[in-house]
Structure 1
């Protein structure tokens, strides 16, 4: 749904938001949904069952029904295993649309814009990033970009409003001139944030050294103080720059109290791994280093945003300690898939508290 339309929809009472979301997806996106469902069936359903036309017809109808009744998108239907859940269990799952509806009512849509603009967020939270960055929008940014590249020959460039690690790349001005690279970035017509590279700690690099393996720490501002709920870790695959699940990465559930990984690795194509498939490091039982320090930092970050109700923080561990990567209104999909636990009731309790 277009951002401007979203902002209008999220001003309505929750009941009408649900109606409008269903109308938009079922009427406007009907063709896209049909294509997506067919692609997901090819990914998740065994080949022999794909040839069972009666079963596939039932599956498609059930996917449609779960969207209408629970606002579960087709990929959520498969990843959250709706096919094998009772109606009560289905209703307990926190789908992305339901999460956004409650966030916009209780955490306010304008706050989402404040965290989704990566450079504005960086500018406000700079002490917690502990590294330098600049923005590339137009010709006015040429000098600051050139000065940045003179100091840091290798750096990472991200679309300023991007997500899931898409179109994120590492560049090296010893391989391409800063002037030429600037022209290429400008030509894409996208606003970019250029960041000093994060050097991750050896412990976290064990999983995969090519990506910065991050920890998501969702925090809620409640009447009882800052509460952490739904932590998980992500790691990339061999050679990958990003660790995002949407870009092929692997995610695992992390115990909020101890920092211990308590699940096998999971992917957004439904695969599960006891060991990282490339490094062969065992997931379950691994203790993320300096966990108490991370909890303290996450709460301090939220205290620095006194007007925000909910933020999903991404952190990376460096040899000098934890640093902030970004903040968002991230999905609760990874937590529910890896932890095999429903979060709808708990999320609503916290967002309304």
Structure 2
């Protein structure tokens, strides 16, 4: 890809950040780092601001990837959320983004890969909804345009006695989609049985229609209905064979070698049906070639793999240096594939 994520992008990003800086979050994160490292919070705060300028990091990036521990050269190897956003805007055609941003449109477009039934509460009849609930013991309601797991809730079908009232309540919460709760592979349930524990596979489709995998992520819930990092979940990275070699961490910076609820070892965990995951992602990445940079959420089922959603503005996932000793990020991987 021609061009670079240069100072023009960076200065525009900084101008936006200056206008909308979350000083409370800056103080909070700097305080957490200062407390754990013994360094003065004022110095941490100044370094966070400098990293935003020099390396284009979000404040959460600085916290998650232990930038206070890294040298300048090490920091330069880390992908960041602002950099990822630049790529999403450059590589993903605006007229096709709605297919990914709206879960109902995504479900229609990627129907052969979903591995589950779903229904739109805005258009189905009460009889259709009643029949849907009769077919599935557990269902999950979603807001069509939500991010980070916001507005997702699971329901037991047997507890729903008043169909019109249930529909009205869901629509009042903007939960317009109702999906069959996927049955995940028993080995995935060993991590955390309350949520479907998914993978985030980040791909790039190049000009020669070759699919490059940029990141392989194992996400786990922690007692809730979803595994999202922003909703109490945790993650670690996988190798090319779908094996986790390092502990997971959550949004509060807590590190876990074993899952805190199940006791299942995260280090050494091998994702089942890995071959099916790779085949599925290769197909998904080619479906809408105008959207070239995507983070796919993949569930592992007893029979293979199914796509949950595709994120054209995918988040960034990397190992936590303080928990793993790995002090190199994925920016070189992204650069080698995309060419910026």
Both structures adopt the same fold (TM-score exceeding 0.5): yes
Give the secondary-structure state (helix, strand or coil) at the position aligned to 2:272.
Answer: coil
TM-score by length of 1: 0.85
How far is the alpha carbon of 1:68 from its aligned partner?
Answer: 2.1
> 1:77 is matched with which residue?
62
Cα 1:349/1:224, change in 2 over 3 Å? farther
Determine whether 1:18 maps to 2:18: no
Q: Distance in 1 between matches of 2:168 and 2:90?
A: 41
Shift of 1:126: 0.5
TM-fit CA distance, 1:19: 2.5
Deviation per CA, 1:300-332, whole angstroms, max 9, x where unpaired? 122222333122111111222211111113212
Aligned pair in 2 of structure 1 residues 201, 243: CA closer, same or farther (>3 Å)? Answer: same
Structure 2-normalised TM-score? Answer: 0.88
Q: Which has the higher contact order (CA 8 A, sep 6+)?
A: 2
Instruction: Work out whether 1:174 is the aligned partner of 2:158.
Output: yes
Q: In terms of mean alpha carbon deviation, does 13-22 or 193-202 score higher?
A: 13-22
Distance (Å, rounded) in 2 between the aligned partners of 1:191 and 1:236: 21
Are the aligned partners of 1:204 and 1:213 in contact in 2 as well (CA < 8 Å)? yes
* Aligned pairs for 1:146-185 within 5 A: 146-152=130-136, 154-176=138-160, 177-185=162-170
Q: Which runs of 5+ in 2 are unaligned?
A: none
Distance 2:77 2:37 in 1: 31
Q: List runs of 5+ in structure 1 lacking aligned partners.
A: 1-12
Q: Give the CA deviation at 1:38.
A: 2.0
Aligned-pair distance for 1:249?
1.0
- 1:342 is aligned, of 319, 324, 329, to 329
Matching of residue 67 in structure 1 with residue 52 in structure 2: yes
Contact (CA 8 Å) 1:149, 1:178: kept in 2 or not?
A: no
Partner Cα separation in structure 1 for residue 84 and residue 290 of structure 2: 19
- State the distance in 2 between where 1:191 and 1:174 align: 19
Match in the other structure for 1:7: none
Specify which of 9, 26, 43 is matched with residue 37 of structure 1. 26
Aligned to 2:248: 265
Whether the 8 Å contact between 2:190 and 2:262 is mirrored in structure 1 is: yes
Q: CA deviation at 1:136?
A: 3.5
The answer for the alignment partner of 2:108 in structure 1 is 123
Q: Distance in 2 between matches of 1:70 and 1:183?
A: 47
Aligned length: 329
Q: Return the match for 1:333 from 293, 317, 336.
A: 317
Q: CA separation of 1:351/1:186 partners in 2, compared to 1, >3 Å: closer, same or farther? A: same
Matched, 1:323 2:315: no
